[in-house]
């Protein structure tokens, strides 16, 4: 899903710079195809066969496999003055709230029946509070960002997958490949709240953690975290950098 739905910003820019509309038209066609294949309850799966148009995975999630499709609807709608994209996102947002929300988390659900399938958070989910902020749903954005921040404080970064039910890393997916999604979301929230101090402190927490576990002599590296303690406790950690 994310691969199919993530062209419109770049391709529209290319069309407008080159004067050739075919690039933007191709991206719009892909977005139309995805929109027309949503389920009757307005959810989408996370994998689709681009030749047949058939869903190959019916798990609906805001994160892994789907994330940037939603992101580009919002950003494309704003940048390109396409209110239809924003309207589509609002349709998805309502369905996500109805079928996937749980205590300010968003769980995996079946795209056709709406029942929850996995109690998982993926680090890619963390873009979502930023998009909610951009469309004006700041209250929900703040509540969800705070939930994600608690994971960061627990492990000193965001693991790739976290089991919300067990409150622990899911199936040894503890790697942190320097993903920017949560930091971007907090940036939007900071601007929307006129630099509220609590979110500035969150941002500084992220910076400190990344320096502490990811900095190497030539820059910053992906980390596979073996043992983590609260990011604010600045004491020795053991980790492997790849």
Nearest-10 crossing angle of helices 181-192, 138-155: 140
- SS3 helix, strand, coil % of the chain, rounded to 5? 50, 15, 35
DSSP 88: H
pLDDT per residue over 51-89, tens digit each?
Answer: 999 999 999 999 999 999 999 999 999 999 999 999 999
Cα gap 183→203, rounded to integer Å: 7
- Confidence tier at 240 by pLDDT (50, 70, 90): very low
pLDDT per residue over 8-39, tens digit each?
Answer: 999 999 999 999 999 999 999 999 999 999 99
Residue 99 or 213, more confident: 99
Cα gap 150→179, rounded to integer Å: 17
The residues pairing with 176 across neighbouring beta strands, listed in sequence order, are 223
Closest CA to 34 of 64, 76, 5, 71: 5
Sheet holding 175-176, edge to edge: 175-176, 223-225, 239-241
Phi, psi of 227 (to 5 degrees): -135, 130
91-100, 133-142, 217-226: which has the minimum mean pLDDT?
217-226
CA 81 to chain centre: 22
Cα gap 55→95, rounded to integer Å: 18
Q: Please state, rounded to an integer, the average pLDDT across all residues of the chain.
A: 91
| Single pTM value for the model | 0.90
Q: Is 75 left (phi over 0), alpha (psi -120 to 50) or beta?
A: alpha
pLDDT per residue over 145-192, tens digit each?
Answer: 999 999 999 988 999 999 999 999 998 788 889 999 999 999 999 999
CB 72 within 8 A of CB 64: no
């Amino acid at each position: 899903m994310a691969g199919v739905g993530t062209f419109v910003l770049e391709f529209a820019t290319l069309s407008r710079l080159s004067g050739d509309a075919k690039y933007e038209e191709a991206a719009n066609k892909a977005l139309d195809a995805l929109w027309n294949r949503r389920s009757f309850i307005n959810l989408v799966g996370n994998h689709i066969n681009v030749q047949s148009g058939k869903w190959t995975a019916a798990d609906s999630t805001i994160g892994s496999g789907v994330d940037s499709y939603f992101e580009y609807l919002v950003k494309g709608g704003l940048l390109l003055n396409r209110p239809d994209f924003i309207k589509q996102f609002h349709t998805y947002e309502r369905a996500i709230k109805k079928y996937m929300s749980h205590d300010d988390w968003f769980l995996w659900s079946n795209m056709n029946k709406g029942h929850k399938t996995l109690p998982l958070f993926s680090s890619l989910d963390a873009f979502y509070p930023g998009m909610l902020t951009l469309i004006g749903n700041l209250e929900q954005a703040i509540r969800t960002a705070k939930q994600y921040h608690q994971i960061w404080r627990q492990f000193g970064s965001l693991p790739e997958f976290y089991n919300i039910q067990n409150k622990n890393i899911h199936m040894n997916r503890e790697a942190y490949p320097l993903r920017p999604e949560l930091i971007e979301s907090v940036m939007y929230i900071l601007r929307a709240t006129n630099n509220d101090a609590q979110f500035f402190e969150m941002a500084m927490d992220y910076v400190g953690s990344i320096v502490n576990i990811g900095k190497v002599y030539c820059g910053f590296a992906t980390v596979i975290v073996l043992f983590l303690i609260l990011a604010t406790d600045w004491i020795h950690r053991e980790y492997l950098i790849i």
